[in-house]
């Protein structure tokens, strides 16, 4: 179902998932005169604070899903682990954007790598691992160190282990699930960047400038824009992200994470079929931010201008770092708190954008 008519103001956007990304999507939708209906099994979802309609129900509750679908004009999601069955079911009832095929590819590392390879997008050497014999053979082939990962449900470094020899690998095989796993060559990258790209229902593509990402304890800590890469590498990353969005026949915002190797060579690490943490800087310094861009795309509207107006560093506030709001931020900082009730260790509680305004000479 891809009705090309743009949704009028006052339409309702259904969002699966009630975390901070759903919350920021709902805020952007409200600014555009749209309503949101958020569906999430967790009654304590931060997005519920900012949406006029909510459903608290399981993702396999077909009765609740049907009622949800009947109440909205289009459905989107804020996380990639929406069960495939849920997506397929909803897609029979209302337009699902991005669609179930893009979701299925992005939620399975093996399907994703196969898809990228077919579309001539470079990725690290990889192999599907179905048993220990195969693991031994592929470890010989790819060399060590290597990274053994689950194919699904991995995030913030969960579901992966670096292995240096067969003994490590056998232990990692025992610990990681669900199977099969994927073995990846270790990439000696110089830096990590990401491109957040949007594609409209009409097929237009608009990308934000690449962000340079630094992780702490496997969780994104900062995204700095501009990234410390050449113009040529930035262009190449944007072209690859656009190629992926088009090949997926994608509608909405897509995050593409890259490793940058010596000499500016790029490998795609992974893609995320949603607004992306490394795109939070756009809310402070892009003409259109990633949340508005996603709402525009899923509503069938033309995309906005992604031009960046200033340099910026986005910093995630993790666990009790949220206490920096309101006192310890500094005047150039734009804080965004997610309204989560409990500041658990490792939990993303908010972020802050620190903007460098270039002062013009008088
Ligand atoms: P992922 O969950 O695949 O995004 O991986 C999380 C982080 O682990 C990445 O951002 C990298 O810092 C690191 N990592 C993942 N895969 C590799 C690899 N093949 N080689 C080197 N580092 C990796």
DSSP collapsed to 3 states, the chain: CCCCCCCCCCCEEEEECCCHHHHHHHHHHHHCCCEEEEECCCCCCHHHHHCCEEECCCCCCHHHHHHHHHCCCEEEECCCCCCHHHHHHHHCCCCECCCHHHHHHHCCHHHHHHHHHHCCCCCCCEEEECCHHHHHHHHHHHCCCEEEEECCCCCCCCCEEEECCHHHHHHHHHHCCCCCEEEEECCCCCEEEEEEEEECCCCCEEECCCEEEEEECCEEEEEEECCCCCHHHHHHHHHHHHHHHHHCCCCEEEEEEEEECHHHCEEEEEEECCCCHHHCCHHHHECCCHHHHHHHHHCCCCCCCCCECCEEEEEEEEHHHHHHCCCCCCCCEEEEECCCCCCCCCCEEEEEEEEECCCCCC
Model pTM score: 0.95
Residue 36 bridge partners (DSSP):
13
Ligand 1: centre distance to CA 242 (Å)? 22
pLDDT of residue 156: 56
Whose Cα sits closest to atom 8 in ligand 1? Answer: 157
- Regarding the beta carbon of 270 and ligand 1, being less than 6 Å apart is answered yes
Ligand 1: centre distance to CA 258 (Å)? 10
pLDDT of residue 350: 96
Ligand 1: centre distance to CA 320 (Å)? 26
* pLDDT above 50 (res 232): yes
pLDDT of residue 165: 94
- Regarding the beta carbon of 215 and ligand 1, being less than 6 Å apart is answered yes
- Regarding the beta carbon of 269 and ligand 1, being less than 6 Å apart is answered yes
pLDDT of residue 325: 79
Structure tokens at 79: 């996380």
| Nearest in space to 81 (alpha carbons), one of 49, 54, 103, 50 | 103
pLDDT of residue 37: 98
pLDDT of residue 157: 60
Residue 146 CA: nearest ligand 1 atom is: 19
Residue 85's pLDDT band (cuts 50, 70, 90) = very high
- Burial level of 94, CB count in 10 A (0-12/13-18/19+)? middle
Residue from 222, 269, 316 to probe ligand 1 pocket by mutation (most atoms less than 8 Å from CB): 269
**More confident position, 245 or 152:** 245
Residue 158 CA: nearest ligand 1 atom is: 2
* pLDDT above 50 (res 1): no
- Regarding the beta carbon of 192 and ligand 1, being less than 6 Å apart is answered yes
| Nearest in space to 243 (alpha carbons), one of 275, 203, 216 | 203
Ligand 1: centre distance to CA 221 (Å)? 15
């Amino acid at each position: 179902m891809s009705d090309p008519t743009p949704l009028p103001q006052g339409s309702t956007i259904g969002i699966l998932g009630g975390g901070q990304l759903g919350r920021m999507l709902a805020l952007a939708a409200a600014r555009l005169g749209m309503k949101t209906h958020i569906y999430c099994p967790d009654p304590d979802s931060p997005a519920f604070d900012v949406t006029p309609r909510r459903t608290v129900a399981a993702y396999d509750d077909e009765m609740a899903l049907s009622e949800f679908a009947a109440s909205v004009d289009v459905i989107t999601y804020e996380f990639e682990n929406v069960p495939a069955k849920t997506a397929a079911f909803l897609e029979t009832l209302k337009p699902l954007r991005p669609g179930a095929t893009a979701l299925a590819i992005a939620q399975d590392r093996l399907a994703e790598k196969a898809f990228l390879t077919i579309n001539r997008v470079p990725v690290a050497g990889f192999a599907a691992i179905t048993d220990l014999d195969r693991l031994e053979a592929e470890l010989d082939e790819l060399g060590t160190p290597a990274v053994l990962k689950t194919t699904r449900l991995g995030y913030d470094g969960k579901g992966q282990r670096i292995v240096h020899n067969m003994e490590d690998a056998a232990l990692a095989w025992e610990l990681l699930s669900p199977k099969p796993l994927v073995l990846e060559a270790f990439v000696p990258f110089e830096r990590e960047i990401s491109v957040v790209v949007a594609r409209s229902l009409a097929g237009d593509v608009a990308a934000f400038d690449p962000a340079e990402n630094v992780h702490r304890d496997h969780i994104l800590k900062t995204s700095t824009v501009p990234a410390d890469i050449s113009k040529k590498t930035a262009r190449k990353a944007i072209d690859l992200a656009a190629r992926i969005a088009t090949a997926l026949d994608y509608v909405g915002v897509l995050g593409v994470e890259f490793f940058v190797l010596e000499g500016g060579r790029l490998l795609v690490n992974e893609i995320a079929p949603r607004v992306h943490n490394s795109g939070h800087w756009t809310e402070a310094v892009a003409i259109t931010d990633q949340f508005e861009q996603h709402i525009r795309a899923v509503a069938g509207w033309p995309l906005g201008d992604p031009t960046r107006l200033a340099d910026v560093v986005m910093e995630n506030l993790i666990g009790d770092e949220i206490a920096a709001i309101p006192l310890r931020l500094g005047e150039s900082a734009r804080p965004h708190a997610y309204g989560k009730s409990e500041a658990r260790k490792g939990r993303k509680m908010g972020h802050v954008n620190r903007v460098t305004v270039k002062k013009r000479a008088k």
